[in-house]
Structure 1
Amino acid sequence: MSNPSEPGHGRPEPGLSAIMSERRRLTNLAYRLLGSLADAEDVVQETYARWYAMSPQRQEAIDSPGAWLTTVAGRICLDLLGSARARRERYVGQWIPEPLPDRTEWISGRPGAGTVDPADRVTLDESVSMAFLVVLDAMTPAERVAFILHDVFRYPFAEVAEIVGRTPAACRQLAASARRRVRTPQPDAASAARRAEIVRDFKQAWEAKDIDALIGLLDPEVTATGDGGGLANAAPHPIEGAGQVARFFVDRSVAGAGVALVERTVNGQPGLVARLDGVTVSVMAFDVTGNRIQHIWAVLNPDKLRSWTAG
């Protein structure tokens, strides 16, 4: 299998540096497939463990180490996605993908992570927006893997088939089915600025407990979802409708509660971070279409907030 991230089809220069240079691409792939940076890092670690478990002779016999690493990482992710539904049944409340900070906001909360910044290894583009990841999470494992490998990473279906374990024609159908679920926005500088402005207006209206202003910013069919994972207080079910969502936020006003609400980039999009006594307690992502907020995702589970700075 060829490596789309490198020109040509020849074998990369052998050696530790050539092998380790694949880490960023593998992390990008695994995060998009799993929606969890922690799980993505574990997948990459396992992939490298399998590489170094081979004898030097077996390593030398592999024409494209980069392609081998991608195949192994993709298959590990596929297995994890297959068991994810059972794990989700045991998850308390709603499950939201792990939010990613901008590189300037990152801190390491994982033992042994060292000084390498994982934010430098995950490209913050439309394919990691919370709206995109939530749609991916509704796909079957095979759909998700085929779609991400082909449509995001540009692998040909013949190579996708090696990872998914199906024919190229079947993988083409999987990607087409997944593609129908995705609404792909085409942002420009103006729309990005407008999204940031709407999130700022939401913040100010929330702090002012201005329910009418909040309703004016929300789509009539807006949905707000919270993820506490049983470790933080969050609504057990999504809240729907502009009036209900506005009332929910007004009733949980941050004013006078010692909570600082700050504007931050969340998965490459304008978002909000709530901090209490310098500790990040919630990260909010928004899906803004036109001039209205369609979806709000609030991650409160502290296990998913380890990559965010304390202040």
Structure 2
Amino acid sequence: MSIIEIISRSHVDWKQELPKQFPIIRFPGASVYTAEADFGTVCVQRYEGTNYHMDYSIFSLQQQIDLAGTVTESGLYTRIVLSGLVRQKLDGSFLIQRKNQFLLFKTPFNNFTSLNYSAKLHICFEAFFSLPLIQELFDLFPALKLLFDRKEFVPGPIKLHSPIHVDIETHNIVNKVLKCPYEKDLRTHYFDSRVRDLLFNLLVQASNTNPVDNDPDDFEMAAIRNAQDLISADIKNHFQVPELLGQTRFKVLFKKIFNMGPYEYLQQQRMIKAKELLEQGMQVKEVAALTGYRLTRFINAFRNYYGTTPGSLLRKPK
């Protein structure tokens, strides 16, 4: 296994299955790596995307362990501590990263991490963003471009900031990733979009600036209105929406104007249309198909949106 190495143990057997002794979220589409020994249990789930990867790691420990990992590709690496406490070795000293804090590092680097055994459970969400992905944001974050234009070799990780508390938006992005309801191609599009949201949001927090605070110009407004029209015209089409999410500024401006993202807007339009069709007497299964859902997922989505089942509308007296 090349994800991490437990250097405080001479030999560790990794299995590609979830641990059985404690409950764990199944990261959709991710590969699973589990090690169990006298130190406790380590489970890493990794999703490999184009120009990025995401790790969801749980450490249930009886003893302290030391981990080592290497990132050889140029890019940015982040760790978000969801539970527990992590000690990161930097320049001969240890930086403590606590629950609900994140760090950003410029890569490549040889990463050494010590997990503090005083807390029994450690949960981390980590992501690597490769240079092609980061370059999409150079115009929005000029300092980021300067960082990657540096030619001199700097040993070890470049810490971009001190640990920062994770905001609600970042928590929401991580939760959406871990609870992704989609499969196969749609899941790929969904993760491609969410990972860009995550990178943008972390950079905004780290730099204390939001490059999309400026109002949209006429061209951007036209693009956003066109996207709105495309979504409204074909609510059944799952695959049209990710094509509209290529630019971070576009996504944030869409949310700024409509108070919801393109995916949320699509769901809203589907639910409005579904309610209209049900009130006309159309059967639930047919409505689900016309609004782009499989039946079970449609019932759940409808209940989450309206607080009742679609069948209840059919049973209401005229």
TM interval, shorter chain, is under 0.3
| Greater relative contact order structure (CA < 8 Å, 6+ sep) | 1
TM-score normalised to structure 2 length:
0.24
Quick check: which has more Rg, 1 or 2?
2
Structure holding more strand per residue: 2
